[in-house]
Amino acid sequence: MAHLDLSQTPAGTSGRVPFWRQPTVQIWLAIGAVASLCVFILPFAFPPTTPSQSASYAVGFGNRVAMLSTVFVSAAVAILLWWRRIGARITDPPEQGTMPLSWLAWASAAAIIFHAFLGWRVAIADVYYCDASYFLTQVGRHLHDHAVLYKDIEFAYGPLLFYWPELFIRVLAPLGLKAPGAYMVSLTVMQLAGLGIIFYAIQSLPLTRRLKGVAMLTMAFGTLTPLLGLNYTLLRFALPYAGILWITAQAGVWRQSILFGLAQILMLSISPELGVAFAGGAGAYGLYRAAMDRDSRWLAACAAPLVGLAVAAVLLGRNYFEMMLRFAGGNFAGVIEAKPHLEILLLAAIALSPFAIAGYVRRYGREAGPMIGLYIAALGMVPAGLGRCDELHTFFAGIGVLLLSLVAVSAYQNVWSTVWVALFIVSAVYSTASQAILYKPLEKQVISGNIWPDNVDVAHLEAVTGGAKIAAPFKLPIRVMEALTQNGQFAPGYFCFMINSQDIPGQERKIAEMRQVPYVLFPTQDYRIFEMGDNRRRFVIMRFGITYTKKHVFNSGELLEQEVAKNWQRVEDFGGYTLYRQK
């Protein structure tokens, strides 16, 4: 196995070889150049053509090309490093200590305290709060109106994340706990389950006891996310890796194949990208075992996720898969730049993860199947982080490659490994802290209990409209929405207000829903909160002074604005909202 040796001297020469002329260094420089070209530059040659509310559409950056480039470059690097016998030294089994259960207990206690405090304050605040209120609003539609999931209700995730909080709401209602409080209990239980899952996954990796502790501490920060959404949980993002490691530890090809098929259904029930990543990992594991063992029975492990997909298609229905295709359209897709959180993810995915896998395969040969499956599953999750490009998505979607990056440095005791471990910790702390800072005004409201008044006179609103139905394309205060719902006036739509509707089909659906009722409430002030800016605004790419100008501007609010100007008449202002009547 080749390792970087700064004192290496070619035959027939004397003295030290320049650092940049060493073969290993040249390989890494070539990898960096190709990766930069494919991830940062090539996507501009394939600009998106479908209008959507996203920075990538605005500037002509093919985000999907960048995502696929990251995956394929990483896989190519892993093969190249294995072929050139370049790879990480893998920690010897005697050095691979185990974490005590007390570490899991302390992480669980921190998660409980965090959710008990912030969740309680949000539950009694009666205010629309980030992702938590998105789940509560959509689940509430099902409970109140018996609306059908995916057909009548937009939902960006699998049905398990929908029916899980609903179960707690139904069970805890007889005990006097209202829906927001029951939701927070369901979130806390899911976070605790996620901690157990990530604990098992980390325990199974070839890491020193010290690095296992670092990994567990870092991952525990993921449970302290202030958005309080079921979409940001360790259970969702760590389950594919724990599943592969657990299933491959079972005895027998047929037992493993059956478990792979059942697990595929579970993954798709949580979120579509989990199913894609898990199927890739299981398939890679099955192919590797079939090739190394010369036993075609292991191909059953490749086929099992496909069988699970077929069963899931029957159970979940057509609307679920139409939702998958719709969310692949590019809403909120970002431009991949050399920002700190993106740099950490790309280094882990393109450099350190392949370095770890190449070394592991060289050392363990035919026994390396589980780690190969873990690596492919981790790569399958990376696009979910690069799509939005924000701190939380890159951290959670990058959990797999981040853990593999620790495997890459586990056996080394030098400054570079120390620096990477520090960056690993920073990635988690920064992802949580950035959101806490972003939503600081809202957090201060719910923690202090000093909720800003909405000044909407619901009784007067009912009198003016004569109790007729009212649509609300944009976010309403929770108090107003609940009051209108109770008196039968609120006309809910497919979307949770503007969330996930920022494309032409989404806006057209909202306009069609508005036309079915006589009245609509719009924010009085500028409601185009997703404005992407005009063509004169510039962004910096890679922080090297390279700039580009926006080519397209798609503001979904303009379509609704045009509809109101053409077909609706202003009636009266109610607090921060204006009531319109259909002409």
- Looking at the DSSP assignment, which residues form a beta bridge with residue 470? 490, 519
Residue 352: CB atoms within 10 A of its CB come to 21
Residue 453 sits at φ, ψ, to 5 deg, of -70, 145
pLDDT at 557 (0 to 100): 76
pLDDT at 364 (0 to 100): 92
pLDDT of 71 above 90: yes
The whole-number average pLDDT for the span 165-189 is 96
- 508 in Cβ contact with 523 (< 8 Å): no
The whole-number average pLDDT for the span 457-478 is 92
Kindly state the percentage of the chain with pLDDT values over 70.
91
> Tens of pLDDT along 283-335?
999 999 999 999 999 999 999 999 999 999 999 988 898 887 777 766 778 88
pLDDT of 33 above 90: yes
How, if at all, do strands 470-471 and 519-523 pair?
Answer: parallel
pLDDT at 177 (0 to 100): 94
- 7 in Cβ contact with 19 (< 8 Å): no
Least confident of 41-45, 442-446, 549-553: 549-553
Residue 193 sits at φ, ψ, to 5 deg, of -65, -40
pLDDT at 442 (0 to 100): 84
- Long-range contacts of the stretch 133-138 (C-beta < 8 A, 24+): 133/478, 134/229, 134/496, 134/499, 135/161, 135/162, 135/165, 135/183, 135/229, 135/230, 136/165, 136/179, 136/180, 136/183, 137/481, 137/496, 137/497, 138/162, 138/496
How, if at all, do strands 577-582 and 519-523 pair?
Answer: antiparallel
Most confident residue range from 396-405, 434-443, 481-490? 396-405
> Tens of pLDDT along 117-127?
999 999 888 78
What is the sign of the dihedral through the CA atoms of 420, 422, 423 and 424?
A: positive
Question: By three-state DSSP, how is residue 581 classified?
Answer: strand
Q: How confident is the model at residue 50 (pLDDT cuts 50, 70, 90)?
A: confident
How, if at all, do strands 538-541 and 568-574 pair?
Answer: unpaired
Give the start-to-end residue ranges of the domains of the chain: 23-442, 458-582
Residue 437: CB atoms within 10 A of its CB come to 10
Residue (of 35, 25, 54) closest to 328 by Cα position: 54
Rounded Cα gap, residues 244 and 192, in angstroms: 20
- 290 in Cβ contact with 300 (< 8 Å): no
pLDDT at 57 (0 to 100): 85
Question: By three-state DSSP, how is residue 19 classified?
Answer: helix
Q: Print burial letters for 61-95: b (CB count within 10 Å at least 16), e (below 16).
A: bbbbbbbbbbbebbbbbbeebbeeebbbebbeeee
User: Percent helix, strand and coil across the chain, each rounded to 5?
Assistant: 65, 5, 30
pLDDT of 528 above 70: no
Residue (of 27, 126, 21) closest to 77 by Cα position: 27
- 533 in Cβ contact with 482 (< 8 Å): no
pLDDT at 435 (0 to 100): 85
Rounded Cα gap, residues 341 and 425, in angstroms: 11
pLDDT at 19 (0 to 100): 61
pLDDT at 526 (0 to 100): 58
pLDDT at 300 (0 to 100): 95
Q: How confident is the model at residue 25 (pLDDT cuts 50, 70, 90)?
A: confident
pLDDT of 83 above 90: yes
The whole-number average pLDDT for the span 381-387 is 93
Q: What is the largest CA-CA distance in the chain?
A: 96
pLDDT at 154 (0 to 100): 93
Q: Is 549 left (phi over 0), alpha (psi -120 to 50) or beta?
A: beta
pLDDT of 79 above 90: yes
pLDDT, the chain, mean: 88
The whole-number average pLDDT for the span 130-143 is 93
pLDDT at 155 (0 to 100): 93
Q: Give burial (CB, 10 Å; 0-12/13-18/19+) of 553.
A: middle
pLDDT at 307 (0 to 100): 96
> Torsion over CA of 346, 350, 352 and 354, rounded to 10 degrees?
150
pLDDT at 450 (0 to 100): 76
Half-sphere exposure of 87 (CA within 13 A, CB side): 24
Rounded Cα gap, residues 192 and 163, in angstroms: 18
The whole-number average pLDDT for the span 171-195 is 96
pLDDT of 443 above 90: no
pLDDT at 543 (0 to 100): 44
pLDDT of 453 above 80: no
- Looking at the DSSP assignment, which residues form a beta bridge with residue 522? 578
pLDDT at 53 (0 to 100): 80
Rounded Cα gap, residues 363 and 538, in angstroms: 49
> Tens of pLDDT along 225-282?
999 999 999 999 999 999 999 999 999 999 999 999 999 999 999 999 999 999 999 9
Q: How confident is the model at residue 547 (pLDDT cuts 50, 70, 90)?
A: low
Q: How far, in Å, are 159, 162, 190, 248 from residue 301 at the CA level?
A: 25, 29, 29, 10
pLDDT at 193 (0 to 100): 97
> Tens of pLDDT along 153-174?
999 999 999 999 999 999 999 9
Q: Name the residue type at position 200.
A: Y
Residue (of 288, 278, 305, 254) closest to 372 by Cα position: 288
Helix axes 272-293, 299-316, angle to 10 degrees: 160
pLDDT of 539 above 70: no
DSSP string, 174-188: GGT--HHHHHHHHHH
pLDDT of 8 above 60: no
Q: Which residue has the higher pLDDT, 488 or 322?
A: 488
